[in-house]
Amino acid sequence: MDPAATQVRRVVVGTAGHIDHGKTALVKALTGVDTDRWEEEKRRGITIDLGFALLPLGDGLQASVVDVPGHEGFIRNMLAGATGIDVAMLVVAADEGIMPQTEEHLAILELLGVARGVPVLTKRDLVAPEWLELVDQEVAARLGRSAVRWEPAVAVSVQPGHEDSLAALQAALRRVAVDVAERPTDDWFRLPIDRVFALPGAGTVVTGSTWSGSVAVGDSVRLLPLGRDARVRSIQVHNQAADRAVPGRRTALALVGVERTELERGHVAVTGTGWAATTALDVALDLLPAARRPVVPGTRVRVHLATAEVLARVAPGPTVSPGGQGVVRLLLESPLVARGGDRFVLRSFSPVTTIGGGAVLDPTPPAGSRLTERRLSLQQKPAERLVAWADEVGLAGLASADLAARSGVPAGRIADVLAAADALARCGEYVIAVAALQSGVARLREVLRAYHREHPLDPGMSVQALRAALAEPGAQAPPVSVQDHVLKDGEGGGVWEITGSIARLRGWRPAFDAPRAAARERLLRRLTDAGLQIPTISELEKELPGEPVQALLAHLVREGALETVDQERVAARAALEGFRGGLEAALRELGSATPAQLKERFNLTRKYLIPLLEWADRRGITRRTGDARTLTQLTARSGGS
């Protein structure tokens, strides 16, 4: 049966603690699984890589146990397993107490934001009750200062005769697990990959703990930062075949369409939109008090996020002192995939020690953006951060499809966050700051005002040119849906009116001052007197120097007094109507006529006649065959009416 089909709550429980404090033996005693998979681990007696086991906790509750190495040389492996756990089991050997790696693992759990934990005092059979009590007090005192909410310590032994202690630990884990919030299923699927291998008949297999969402056999996943889609051939959950992978479970995906050599630990398998491999992260950084030096611009560090480890440098910005907190930008030397709200750990470049960590505020900061309190604040709610991002990009807008991954809000809930943000507006597939829309309307109002001032005789500005005016200098034009929204807002708000393809300020009409009115009358009289001997526009401009001849002609055409003949000529409408009547009469009489024959009929030179004949052709009055004209069938049937 598909484990996802049963109503079982699932949590991820991760071990932590100093080397040789009994983590792997404890997991085996609880689950029956020896998580030391490698021959070298068995030979050396230490855990080198991650191990996994299923732990039923009863009452419809199951835990995926991640066993991590405790040796300081394998902290990077420990981090790959500790990221994403719900409950921590901090293992402290009763015969040794808190040790250096205990402290580092505890710090890592705190930096990763693990909310709940159960301290486990192992090897209780090796110490006297009095010593066990002292260790218990030491652990309680240390954990009392921790950001993790810890249960009282449970003392256990994996030796025969101490089964009651293991039962008590399971009961403690169950109490904590019941209170853990379930991982979202109304979200994109995300599987940080910690192992890649190939199996005959299965192909390339990737494993990891499912962080969110679900995926079914036959679905496609996106592999990042590889940038490749692959089909899910089969799924196993804790070594059992399943139809679907769900959050909080140890998952293996057999993939079609990718080679084993193309993937590695640190890559991710995702579904949905908005995911991107990034080379910059804006983060809220907590620097441990034990850090040897402050984090300053240029500091080289190791970033551990999900199962990835990449080198990075701190970008120009504020300095964060040991024990302090601040917002910094990390410039990554290799791409990784992050999401808003992801927790990360920072380790020094050399010597390699854990120095801090925190949360991702923006996994894909726009190129050229700057760290500001307005842009990123530790106190911001998701809606406030979206507003800040939208303010930053203005009319370019935020693609709605990217917001769930960028903000960290589950995909199924992003619409509610947007609805609660009054400062945001939806424009098709984009989200825009209301302030940016208002600014766009104000900008176009000034553009129209300037256009009317410079072209007082035009009926208005073309809508296409008005749209283009929304683009910032040197920038791409805003998305068409955003342009539409600005135009609609301006029209609905009574700022401008749009008729066909022309926009103008509401209430504005072409106006003539006295000199322009006189020029208009001179131009109209000149063309009326010209009849069919139509002057070109260039000739008219020479006759009326300094006057806006073309604008005046366009105005007279709109009024209906003139009609355009071609690009160089505009004629009085009455003259053209007279020419049409004469041409139709001539062709009814002659049947067809050449320009030479028509020159005599109209007493016009070719300079004036040919443009008029071509006008008649374009109007559908005549049809040209060779050098002759005949009436079109429609004109002939209409009788010239």
Query: 359-374 pLDDT, tens per residue?
Result: 999 999 887 777 765 5
CATH superfamily entry for domain 190-270: Translation factors (2.40.30.10)
Query: What is d(CA 87, CA 250) in angstroms, rounded to the nearest whole number?
Result: 15
- Tokens encoding 596: 């030479």
Q: How confident is the model at residue 254 (pLDDT cuts 50, 70, 90)?
A: very high
- DSSP-assigned letter for residue 401: G
Tokens of 595: 């320009």
The pLDDT of residue 373 is 53
Task: Provide the 3-class DSSP secondary structure of residue 378.
Answer: coil
Fold of the domain built from segment(s) 3-179: Rossmann fold (3.40.50)
Among 442, 444, 435, 499, CA closest to 477: 444
Whether the full predicted model's pTM is greater than 0.85, yes or no, is: no
The tokens for 61 are: 């509750």
pLDDT for res 43: 37
* pLDDT of 504 above 70: yes
Regarding the domain delimited by 277-362, which CATH topology (the fold level of the hierarchy) does it fall under?
Elongation Factor Tu (Ef-tu); domain 3 (2.40.30)
Using pLDDT thresholds of 50, 70 and 90, give the confidence band for residue 9: confident
Q: What is the pLDDT of residue 317?
A: 87
Burial class (CB in 10 A: 0-12, 13-18, 19+), 179: exposed
Continuous H helices in 45-91:
75-82
Instruction: Name every residue whose Cβ is closer than 8 Å to that of residue 47 and which is 6 or more positions away in sequence.
Output: 23, 24, 35, 36, 41, 67, 68, 69, 70, 71, 74
Rounded average pLDDT over 623-637:
81
Cβ neighbour number for residue 607 with a 10 Å cutoff: 10
pLDDT of residue 633: 72
What is the percentage of the chain residues whose pLDDT exceeds 70? 90
What b/e sequence results for 202-224 when a residue is b if at least 16 CB atoms lie within 10 Å of its CB, and e otherwise? bbbbbbbbbbbbbbebebebbbb
pLDDT band at 420; cut points 50, 70, 90: confident
pLDDT in tens, 183-206: 777 899 999 998 898 988 888 999
Start-end of CATH 3.40.50.300 domains in the chain: 3-179
Residue in the structure block whose two tokens are 């120097």: 545
Q: What is the pLDDT of residues 124-178, one digit of tens each?
A: 999 999 999 999 999 999 999 999 999 999 999 989 988 899 999 999 999 998 8
The amino acid at 155? A
Q: Higher pLDDT residue, 27 or 267?
A: 267
Round the average pLDDT of the chain to a whole number and report it: 86
CATH 1.10.10.10 positions along the chain are 379-511, 517-641
95: which 2 tokens? 């015969």
Nearest to 93 by CA among 19, 15, 30, 173: 19
SS3 214: coil
What does the CA dihedral 607, 610, 616, 617 come to, rounded to 10 degrees? -150
- pLDDT for 94 beyond 70: yes
DSSP 212: B
Tokens found for residue 314: 């701190």
Mean of the pLDDT values across residues 62-78?
62
- Between helices 595-602 and 606-618, what is the axis angle to 10°? 110
Tokens found for residue 437: 């829309």
The CATH number that domain 517-641 falls under is 1.10.10.10
The answer to whether 555 and 590 are in contact (CB under 8 A) is no
Q: Using 50, 70 and 90 to split pLDDT, how confident is the model at 53?
A: confident
Q: Which CATH number fits domain 379-511: 1.10.3720.10, 1.25.40.10, 1.10.10.10, 3.50.50.100?
A: 1.10.10.10
Q: Which residue has the higher pLDDT, 118 or 69?
A: 118
Which part of the chain has CATH 2.40.30.10? 190-270, 277-362
Identify whether the C-beta of residue 47 lies closer than 8 Å to the C-beta of residue 41.
yes
**Nearest partner of 408 among 113, 128, 172, 628, judged by Cα:** 113
Residue 585 near residue 562 (C-beta atoms within 8 A): no
Instruction: Determine the pLDDT at residue 76.
Output: 58
pLDDT higher than 80, residue 41: no
| CB-facing half-sphere around the CA of 223: CA atoms within 13 A | 26
166, with CB counted inside 10 A (0-12, 13-18, 19+), is middle
Distance between CA atoms of residues 534 and 554, nearest Å: 16
- Would you say 105 and 70 are in contact if contact means Cβ atoms under 8 Å apart? yes
Give yes or no for residue 229 having a pLDDT over 70.
yes
Work out the number of other CB atoms within 10 angstroms of the CB of residue 320. 24
Q: Is 361 helix (H, G, I), strand (E, B) or coil?
A: strand
